[in-house]
Amino acid sequence: MNEQTQDIEIDLLLEAMFRKYGYDFRNYARASIERRILHQLSKSGLSNISEMQGRLLADKEFFKRMLLDLSINVTEMFRDASFYVAFREKVVPYLRAHPFIRIWIAGCATGEEVYSMAIVLQEEGLFDQTRIYATDINEEVLQIAKEGVYSLENIQEYTLNYQKAGGQKAFSDYYTAHQDTAVITPSLKTHVVFASHNLVHDAKFNEMHLISCRNVMIYFNQTLKDRVLKLFHESLCPLGLLCLGSKESVQFSAYENQFDPLIKDEKIYKKKGF
């Protein structure tokens, strides 16, 4: 298959996916989405992308399996520990000024970032006055996030991350070991609302004090980045904070002038006031 034909087939596949199921990957970074489609093709035993298109239109379960590959679910607890150190030092004082705190974690995947944030807020005495809205496009990974059950194999790494992130207790205080799994302490879920949300076309949230969307937009092209930044800008209250991943930025976007850097190295921005 030549490159032009493959590009056409991928365009048609993404269009079919959007029109049939409402999931829009058409403005994801091309190299990333192409790589994931070809990986799925190699696993499927199908002959070509056109055959894959016919299969996903006729078989919803096949589409769900594809969705797991196409959506980005790579995460860990206290990933990029320096972010959480900066969060404690610079963001927590801002949050303390509010009697009730609204936080949106967009693209929460399997929930590790949600519980990391909940732990920090609990240790800083803010969790009880906070509501965290944790959203993702993928219902299956959201279910994992709701359950809060993770492999014990990862706990050693998460414990080290937690310590580097300024953890104030023993990390084992936040989970119960059960066979080969770690079950997150139920109290960390009490102020968390998990919900399905599609950044591409779903509605904004209102008056958020902080939005965290880390390591999600690296997979978007500039058109989609601008669309999502517009959504975040409209969802934040004046002077609200936006937290992006280490390789992401508002720089060179249509919304660059709507945010001021609060902690430049950690990609934490403050929405400009009225």
**What is the tens place of the pLDDT at every residue in 187-237?**
999 999 999 999 888 888 989 999 999 988 888 888 999 999 999 999 999
User: Where do the domains of the chain lie, and which CATH numbers do they carry?
Assistant: 3-70 (no CATH), 81-271 (3.40.50.150)
Residue 74's pLDDT is what?
A: 66
Q: How sure is the predictor about 49, in pLDDT bands with cuts at 50, 70 and 90?
A: very high
Residue 274's pLDDT is what?
A: 61
Interatomic CA distance for residues 11 and 6, integer angstroms: 9
Looking at this protein, which amino acid is placed at residue 172? S
- Whether the per-residue pLDDT at 37 is higher than 80: the answer is yes
Interatomic CA distance for residues 78 and 82, integer angstroms: 9
Average pLDDT over residues 13-39: 86
What's this model's pTM, rounded to 2 decimal places? 0.86
Burial (0-12, 13-18, 19+ Cβ within 10 Å), 206: exposed
Interatomic CA distance for residues 118 and 116, integer angstroms: 5
**What is the tens place of the pLDDT at every residue in 68-82?**
777 766 689 999 999
Average pLDDT, the chain: 92
Interatomic CA distance for residues 258 and 251, integer angstroms: 10
**What is the tens place of the pLDDT at every residue in 175-184?**
999 889 999 9
Residue 2's pLDDT is what?
A: 74
**What is the tens place of the pLDDT at every residue in 108-138?**
999 999 999 999 999 999 999 999 999 998 8
- Whether the per-residue pLDDT at 273 is higher than 80: the answer is no
